[in-house]
Amino acid sequence: MAKNLLIVESPAKATTINKYLGPDFEVLASYGHVRDLIPKGGAVDPDNNFEMHYRIIDRNKKHVDKIVSSAKKADAVYLATDLDREGEAISWHIAEILKERGINEKKPIKRVVFSEITKSAIDQAMAHPRDLVEPLVDAQQARRALDYLVGFNLSPLLWKKVSRGLSAGRVQSPALRMIVEREEEIEKFKPQEYWTIGATLGEQDNPFNANLVKVAGKKLAQFDLVSEADAQAVVDRIETNADTSNGAKTLPLSRIKKSQRRRRPQPPFITSTLQQEAARRLRFTTQRTMRLAQQLYEGVDLGGGENQGLITYMRTDSVALSADALAEIRQVVQSDYGAHLIPEKPNFYQSKSKNAQEAHESIRPTSAKLTPIKVKSHLSDEQYKLYQLIWNRAVASQMIPAVYDTVTAEFDVGDETFRANGSILIEPGFLAVYQDAQAETDNRLPPLEEGDRVVLQEITPEQHFTEPPPRYSEASLVKALEEYGIGRPSTYASIIQTLKDREYVELENRRFTPTSTGRVVSKFLSTHFDRYVDYEFTARLEDALDAVSRGENEWRPLLKEFWTPFIERVHEKEESVSRKEAQLARELGTDPKTGKPVIVRVGRYGPFAQIGQAEDEEKPAFAGLRPGQKMDAITLEEALELFKLPRDLGQTPEGEPIQANVGRFGPYVRYGQRNFVSLKEIDPLDVTHEQAMVLIAEHKQMLKDRVIKSFPEHGIEILKGRYGPFITDGNVNAKVPKDVEPDSLDLETCQKLIAEAPPKGSRGKFGRKKAGKKKVAKKKATKKKATKKKTAKKKKAAKKKAAKKTQSASSTD
């Protein structure tokens, strides 16, 4: 029986490490976080010194039970979760659970950390165990508490003032503001005309290009030439002043400067630069990059049945390389590329982050000798591309600079000056391994000496217009967040994913565009909670959390300083801001048929138009905006068109009614009561019965093809699904057990599996929702509505009494 227990976060890591430690160790996985704040109000109690109430995450209960059981039998427990503050917090939670479950206090519970999963790194870590670092734990608790306090108070306010289902987050909201403000910049942008003038110089068989850099003896600024007439006047002067004594027009070479320019290699990757480069070069999303990096870190089977970690820990702000890594990289450069490419001393880089010591090294290969080509056959295509990127960058960082010979030649003609620039790469240096975004192609100039006269072949004036700033891509958003100091590298991927999941942004051509919902939420927060979406305030708060992790600040006073003015602002806005103001509702005009106002506003599923008011006797008519339509731009005529939907298109041969409409996910055709078919590119206002029938026939065939087995008299089917075969009765879906052939199931087994399955949508982080909850809520809502007038005064008094309580809604970074 194993004497010691070592706990890591993931089963893949556990498998790799288990082979290194031998029979004296049992290695178990926590499967990520083991505890989280209780999923209701009061999880963080500001009135009780910000006491935090945790609960074991339901899906991890069995893993926690196994850890506790093994810990009771072990002589010592080693906590080997990730080396950052989040990993430190997970280790702390595990230690707390072990104490609560009665583990002997005298039993050693030690912390071990490593930045790579190799035998030498594991052995080194096990030889130097330590205690938990309380400041790292405190920093993570403070971060979680802040996220909770913001989310559980701002989100309900958004529900009340804008629409249910919305959320706000301490870091997600400033990130959304960036995207919205960039879109507003683009919309307000007015292009400005300007002109440049180029020239083709030299002999016919060896021409080169030059650009006008001085006009009337002064440096040419961007808007000095703003019309074709301006440019032509300069061209006319140049042609007049050009020397024609030898028949052809020539310009004198007035000045020439020759020099060398060196470009140093970039440092090895940190989390943010890896995300940016992988997005730019490989077109990977931040989430995909981090998922693949996790796989490379946790270990890959390189043959012989043993996994080996290929890269160091991928959540880091540090650009440092260990002495062993430096030595090995220099050896590889010498053997594979030549000793002349090794600098006399190693290249050292300075980390930008004050907190970079939190993670010990940059992202690098665990062994530079494991070249990409050696491991390619053991990796997926995506894993290989990312590993090659990481290996190339790390190796290149320890090579000599690239060296260019540069030439700058200037040609004066009257009071105007042309300049030609040439450069030749004479020593590739690190570019032999890593071609970065700044790598240049050779631009050779012919042999030139001061006083030479060169032929002026052609003068080319060119019209330009200024362009708006580009929308953010994932790479440029990560860069902007990093520059502002908002969030931390480990959170960038989740911030971006949250914005997409909440449907606050859309990706068009790999660029972020805010949705109408995103605009309304951002405007509400920027107007009423400006301090809390302010870039500098958010960055200062991140710095304060970093100071906590370094042991320089206490975390509870930090929370108190944030909480008091924040909750006062929440309560003030709850009373002072109207729903209409928060929703940015626009009245477009009057419906000519009913005489009622036509309004656009945002709801739970996005922007929509309505005819009439909620107070009217007759219920208002609603219609969702079409893809591409915006609340702040839609006209009355366009809005009225929306109310022509749904359109009746007749019936199917079976007598099923057909309608065309627009829904949350775009235009569709519905046939029968519950069958929906996407219209894709067809306009629902134009679609014909014949077109609809083609789509319906395809849909029916698809439904037929997915049926594995059917019990029509009982309304039960076994179907092919996206995640494998399942059984359904139309209300409840049940998975087909993995070891069972779907078509072998009989009716009785199907009925049993359906009876044991949870209702649709009932799975959650902490387990199933209570049955009947919606019905109870509905009854309460009806009762509340009936007694609304009676209890209005009591409700107002109760609000004041409950001012200090936190509300129940959640959000994360």
Q: Is 137 left (phi over 0), alpha (psi -120 to 50) or beta?
A: alpha
Whether residue 784 contacts residue 795, with contact meaning beta carbons closer than 8 Å, is answered with no
What's the first-to-final CA gap in the chain, in angstroms?
A: 43
Q: Is 66 left (phi over 0), alpha (psi -120 to 50) or beta?
A: alpha
What is the CA angle 432-436-438, rounded to 5?
115
Quickly state the pLDDT bin for 437 (edges 50, 70, 90).
low
**313 is annotated as an active-site residue:** yes
Looking at residue 352, what DSSP letter applies?
S
pLDDT of 302 strictly over 60: yes
pLDDT of 770 strictly over 60: no
Q: Choose the weakest-confidence range: 72-76, 603-607, 673-677.
A: 603-607
Whether residue 646 contacts residue 661, with contact meaning beta carbons closer than 8 Å, is answered with yes
Quickly state the pLDDT bin for 797 (edges 50, 70, 90).
very low
Question: What is the CB neighbour count within 10 angstroms for residue 513?
Answer: 17
Strands (E), 519-616: 586-590, 597-603, 606-611
**List 194, 297, 313, 384, catalytic entry:** 313
Most confident of 403-412, 610-619, 792-801: 403-412
Phi and psi dihedrals of 453, rounded to 5? -110, 130
Tell me what the mean pLDDT of segment 749-768 comes to.
74
Percent of the chain with pLDDT over 70: 92
Most confident of 196-200, 652-656, 670-674, 737-741: 196-200
pLDDT tens-place string over residues 558-567: 999 999 999 9
Q: Exposure pattern of 623-662 as b/e (b: 16+ CB <10 Å)?
A: bbbbeebebeebebeebbebeebbeebeebeeeeebbbbb
- For the chain, the farthest-separated pair of C-alpha atoms sits apart, in whole angstroms, at 104
Using DSSP's 3-state secondary structure scheme, residue 728 falls into strand
CA-based nearest residue to 289, from 116, 438, 492: 492
pLDDT of 28 strictly over 80: yes
Q: Is cis: bond before 597, omega within 30 of 0?
A: no
Rounded to the nearest angstrom, the gap between the alpha carbon of residue 634 and the centroid of all alpha carbons in its chain is: 30
Return the pLDDT at 788.
45
pLDDT of 199 strictly over 50: yes
pLDDT of 799 strictly over 60: no
Return the pLDDT at 762.
55
Q: Which two three-digit tokens encode residue 335?
A: 């053997």
Return the pLDDT at 438.
64
Tell me what the mean pLDDT of segment 746-765 comes to.
80
Return the pLDDT at 763.
53
Return the pLDDT at 202.
92
Tell me what the mean pLDDT of segment 795-801 comes to.
43
Return the pLDDT at 365.
96
Average pLDDT score over the chain: 88
pLDDT of 684 strictly over 90: no
